[in-house]
Chain A
């Protein structure tokens, strides 16, 4: 059974704080790891796709790392802003290209 776990479930931070979330996934049969940003009433927006162990990706104040051997990825947000408030989804693609999503981390950034 493919299981993707994200923690924490929700997070409240102050504007300017830096924060990070964790995504755990099966370490076998790994193809790719995705991070999405999802605002309510919109469709998920792709942030990163990572395929290689040790990959690090960065987009503005957001960055992500990948450890396929131990089955985890971290997403970091530096200097959180209120507009960063959203649900951050992690998704794992296994062999056969089936992609399973975690439950997400809901981030609230207070001004």
Chain B
């Protein structure tokens, strides 16, 4: 069974540019989460989808970040325009719609804004 896959694995962009990160969750997983870890800090929650609906987006830092999950399958996280402080690793995770289930993480998308 394929795990959570993320693309791109690494991205280097200039300040002011746009980047779109993609996450393909494990097939059948209704829960999809985005987290990020900026350098030296802890993993921070960004948002949570249940199927195509945003269950909780309280962790989104500002309106430069836009997440979508059309059709309840894959999700995208767009940063526009990117700022230096957006550099870090963005993790996507998925789980079935039961709290006691393990949340499976992707390998992360490493973003560097220069």
Contacts and interface: CB of A to CB of B under 8 A. Distances in A.
A73 B43 CA distance: 19
B31 interface: yes
Please classify how large the interface on chain A is, using the bins under 10, 10 to 19, 20 to 34, 35 or more: 20 to 34
Interface in B98-114: 99-108
Contacts, number: 55
A34 B105 CA distance: 13
Nearest to A30: B99
B42 interface: yes
A98 interface: yes
Contact of A31 (B35, B41, B56, B100): B100
Interface of B: 31, 33, 35, 41-45, 48, 50, 55-56, 91, 95, 97, 99-108
